[in-house]
Chain A
Amino acid sequence: DAGITQSPRHKVTETGTPVTLRCHQTENHRYMYWYRQDPGHGLRLIHYSYGVKDTDKGEVSDGYSVSRSKTEDFLLTLESATSSQTSVYFCASRVRGQGTNSPLHFGNGTRLTVT
């Protein structure tokens, strides 16, 4: 791993509650990403950040928000969790953006279950 830590690693929550997942990287990477991984769908981008306070939506952003107040931290919030948001969530970072020789480095994921 390129110094990416996700917390918590596992969480069970009830429908309708807000949930925040945390991602912390120690590589001073400018770009950070949140993906979800589901059987049959692979990895899908939720939101990404291209700098402090600079974020944009990905393919499956509905029901999620993000914040980045420091280079090293990227938070993913489920405003009101639903069962369809049960998934494994991965944070990733890269030193440079798209179109460059800069691979994504992933954390080890957060397994979220919404009951």
Chain B
Amino acid sequence: QKEVEQDPGPLSVPEGAIVSLNCTYSNSAFQYFMWYRQYSRKGPELLMYTYSSGNKEDGRFTAQVDKSSKYISLFIRDSQPSDSATYLCAMGDQTGANNLFFGTGTRLTVIP
């Protein structure tokens, strides 16, 4: 079983839709959680960073962590064609050996 599971998609939505991206994990020691966005032929860029359970909002993006269910989500409101990318979840623990565990990524296309 992988440490982090993420549905690879692909996911296609019309412009303006609300997008929900999700990851599940198995290691209860994970304490902080990240979402990265990766455009084609580019490196991942950090979108959201959360520590512990709860919600965090940044503009059109909301990150949600449910540690009891070992489940994290990223919501994108009013999706735009520029949001078309691959979204990677990542997580780590407080004392890990300088490593993060990444999901395989979900490819999102927002259709104008």
> A residues within 8 Å of B by Cβ?
1, 4, 31, 33, 40-45, 48, 50, 56, 58-59, 90, 92, 97-99, 101, 103-109
| Interface status of B41 (Cβ within 8 A of chain A) | yes
Query: A106 to B45, Cβ gap below 8 A?
Result: yes
Residues in B whose Cβ lies below 8 Å from that of A99: 31, 92-96
User: Number of B interface residues, CB 8 Å?
Assistant: 30
* Chain A residues whose CB sits within 8 angstroms of the CB of B96 once the complex forms: 98-99
CB contact between B99 and one of A45, A90, A101 (< 8 Å): that residue: A45
Contact assessment for B49 and A97 in the assembled complex, using a CB-CB cutoff below 8 Å: no
Contact A98 B98 (CB under 8 A): yes
Q: Which chain B residues in 25-84 approach chain A with CB under 8 Å? A: 31-32, 34, 36, 41-46, 49, 51
Decide: B99 and A98 in contact? CB cutoff 8 A: yes
B42 contacts across to A, CB distance below 8 A:
108-109
Are A103 and B43 CB-contacts (below 8 A) given A58-B99, A98-B92, A98-B96?
no
| 14 chain-A/chain-B pairs, Cβ below 8 angstroms | A1-B43, A1-B45, A31-B98, A33-B98, A41-B104, A42-B4, A42-B102, A44-B102, A45-B99, A92-B43, A98-B93, A98-B94, A103-B34, A109-B41
In the complex formed, the residue of B with least CB distance to A105 is B46
* Inter-chain contacts of A31 with B (CB < 8 A): 98
Name the contact of A42 in the complex, choosing from B32, B45, B88, B92 (C-beta under 8 A). Answer: B88
Which residue of chain B is the closest to A106 with respect to CB atoms? B43
